[in-house]
A and B are shown apart, each in its own frame.
Chain A
Amino acid sequence: MQTGSGKKAQLGEISRQGRGGSIGAAGIVMVAIAAAGCGWIVGRLQTAPAASVAEPDGGTESAALATRHIATHVPVADVDHRAAAAIPAASDAGGGNPPGGLDPELLAASLAGGTDAQRLAALTTALEYDVELPAERLIAAYEHDASDQVRLLAFTTYVDTLATQVDAARAAMQAATGNTSDVVRMEAARRLAELAAYEVQMTLAPTGLEIKP
């Protein structure tokens, strides 16, 4: 099991690259949460000039949603933390409504930063709201994340997306048997054994069982 600090730095770099490298070290980003109609929107992270920085309004997240449009400015270093934290809160506020404006890039970025719980929340939210995360992000998560929970969920999610591509799924599972996380290695081995047993079972079908015309 690798330690977290080095990996977080690496993933943080990926996160910034994923947003086109538009966030400078001394820049300011804006996280906008807007309630729109019966749904809600987690806005994209955007750069903003330092001169436009305003004080956070200090209201609660529910109050922010009720006012329909609140912009909160946070330093770059806190972006991933705040973004990851905003997602589950917004999900709760949505009460299961379709997330019309849920941003895959924001979720993917959140998966790369924040605490273990926040990264897990970002991945869980993506799954719950059917937000398709980039394959490379899932692979990075199950290969490098500091949390075993995040790794395991990212791995199973990725393999499940390959359920109709048996060879690709098998290759991913075989590669994961060398993962530095015990839980990922065990799950990969379990799934490989399940696949092997299934393939043996499928060869046992008596001949001549073709469906009659």
Chain B
Amino acid sequence: MKRKAGPILVGAALAAVALSAHAVVKFSATREGLFTTTNESFTIPLNDLGATTITFNLPAAKKVLLTYTAVCAVSGSSGTQDPRVHLDIIVNNSTVAPTRGAQDAFCSGNHTSTADAYATHTIATAIAGKKGANTVMIVGGRLGAVGYVAIGNSALVISD
């Protein structure tokens, strides 16, 4: 009988953990409108005031979940590479995994001269926040024969 109690207790404990676990939004910023650019590298506005650096505060150093969601499309009809845009999410002046480098296409085009493959895309990653003020900036880069990049409505959410 005692041997059976162990798994039951563990199960109950896990159930309790599952019931008590919940995400707490620490910060959110939204932006509406279509931001376009032909630059090879560009900072992305993160709120309706055009701020490209956002600050959130934590009471203690901890890992938090960063989620960036945006409508994205690129144009580009020539070249052998798919036209695409990648993002570097920079937290406290360090680019966070898995957004380092260019092998993380956020969205890509279909070799047409207009950006016509609009869709909403999301990056979610755990970041190491520090106590006090933390900064977030997102830098985009275009690859392939991109004509222009279009970033539409977006949301940046930091949750605990």
Contacts and interface: CB of A to CB of B under 8 A. Distances in A.
A55 interface: no
A156 B135 CA distance: 13
A95 interface: yes
Interface in A111-166: 124-125, 127-130, 156, 159-160, 162-164, 166
A198 B132 contact: no
B150 A205 contact: yes
B94 interface: no
A127 B49 contact: no
Nearest to B61: A96
B125 interface: no
Interface in B103-160: 114-116, 118, 131-133, 148, 150, 152
The range of chain A's interface size is 35 or more
B55 interface: yes
B81 interface: no
Interface residues of B, number: 34
Interface string A165-202: 01001000000000000000000000100110111011
Given A191-B49, A205-B36, A209-B150, A96 B58 contact: yes
Interface of B: 24, 26, 29-30, 33-37, 45, 47-52, 55, 57-62, 71, 114-116, 118, 131-133, 148, 150, 152
20 contacts: A94-B59, A96-B59, A124-B132, A127-B133, A128-B59, A128-B131, A159-B49, A163-B29, A163-B48, A169-B49, A191-B49, A191-B51, A194-B49, A195-B49, A198-B45, A198-B49, A201-B45, A202-B35, A204-B36, A212-B116
Interface of A: 91, 94-99, 124-125, 127-130, 156, 159-160, 162-164, 166, 169, 191, 194-195, 197-199, 201-202, 204-206, 208-209, 211-212
